[in-house]
Amino acid sequence: MTTLTKNPPAAADKQPPHSRRRRPAMAGLGDLRIALLFILPAMIGFVFFYVVPTIRGVYLSFTEYNILGDPEWVGLDNYTAIAKDPLFWNSLAVTGQYVLINIALQTALALGLALLMHQVAKSTLIRGALLLPYLMSNVIAALLWFWMLDYQIGVVNQFIEWAGMSRVAFFGSEEWAIPTQALINTWRHMGYTALLIFAGLQAIPQHLYEVANLDGATPFQTFRKITLPLLRPVMVLVLVVTVIGSFQVFDTVAVTTQGGPVNATRVIQYYIYQRAFTESDFGYGSAIAVILFLILALVAFIQMKFLKGNESDLD
């Protein structure tokens, strides 16, 4: 009679049950260490170039500091002075005007471009061409338009005069200065904004449009009932990004009008630069920067809260 012997258990089977249960946790810990290793360079940059300057800026906002000596604590004096500063309120009003023009034009044009890319322009070359202005630096774009819109030799005014109309002082007029700045930045950024919206359009299921077409919905009804509601998370993201970027406009103003004419383009970022670096009042400039930070945080919170940017109708 042949005796059948069982194979000896594997080494892994001899391990106690608690050691086998720890393996997934140990593997997860290893993945976490690898992830932290990749994140570490960006985290170091974030801490040293964002967190530390932010904390120091908040501290300097409560001091009088002109870089030649040590900061002198003055408490809320800077904020009290800002509340009575007509130039600050003027810069805030000018910035608000710029933001309204820029956001309205940029969002509308970007949405139209995104719809064209989604429905008509299928070529990757054409879609990529829309991003070309965004690849140009703000300073170069500003100087390009500064030359093109020049009152004397600008090609735009040459065409205006050729059409039988009077020349326009785009940068030299209080009426036109801020709209011109907004139009320049709209031209530069609307391709990137359109790309964000286009990505949102790609995520909308195509069968929804097919069903709407079978039901006899017009293109406008399809856009209003399907496209816009399903684009809400992307549109909120676009609004948050563009509003924050619009409040921080600086370089276009710095290389063209430098706050003029007669404070017509003295946006809040340029006013911070003037108080801190031109007048060496870093404490006062830091206080304005803190106020701007709080304004942007509040605006972003309101947009995310009331526009429900974290919810999607695709669920």
Q: Which of 103, 150, 36, 118 is nearest to 246 (CA)?
A: 103
- Residues 102-146 have pLDDT tens digits of 999 999 999 999 988 887 767 777 777 888 888 888 999 999 999
Assigned CATH topology for domain 86-306: MetI-like fold (1.10.3720)
- pLDDT-wise least confident of 50-59, 109-118, 287-296: 109-118
* Gyration radius (Cα) of the chain, Å: 28
What is the model's pLDDT at position 252? 93
Instruction: Return the higher-pLDDT residue of 257 and 22.
Output: 257
Residue 230 and residue 314 in contact, taking contact as beta carbons nearer than 8 Å: yes
Number of CB atoms found within 10 A of residue 72's CB: 11
pLDDT at 11 (0 to 100): 47
Cα(56)–Cα(48) distance, rounded to whole angstroms? 11
Q: What confidence score (pLDDT) does residue 251 get?
A: 92
Provide the pLDDT for residue 123. 72
pLDDT of residue 162: 94
Whole-number Å distance between alpha carbons of 305 and 302: 5
Residue 28: its pLDDT value, please? Answer: 60
pTM: 0.84
Token pair belonging to 56: 């120091």
Residue-wise pLDDT for 96-109, tens only, equals 999 999 999 999 99
> Whole-angstrom Cα distance, residue 45 to residue 57?
17
The Cα angle at residue 98 between residues 96 and 102, in degrees rounded to 5: 120
**Across 13-27, 164-178, 200-214, least confident range:** 13-27
Q: How far is C-alpha 24 from the chain's CA centre?
A: 40
CA distance 101 to 180: 10
Q: What is the pLDDT of residues 2-47, one digit of tens each?
A: 444 445 554 445 555 554 455 555 556 678 889 889 999 999 999 9
Residue 262 pLDDT greater than 80, yes or no = yes
Which residues make up the CATH 1.10.3720.10 domain(s) of the chain?
A: 86-306
DSSP codes of every residue in 211-275: HHHHTT--HHHHIIIIIHHHTHHHHHHHHHHHHHHHHT--HHHHHTTTT-STTTT--HHHHHHII
C-alpha distance across the termini of the chain, in Å = 67
pLDDT at 27: 55
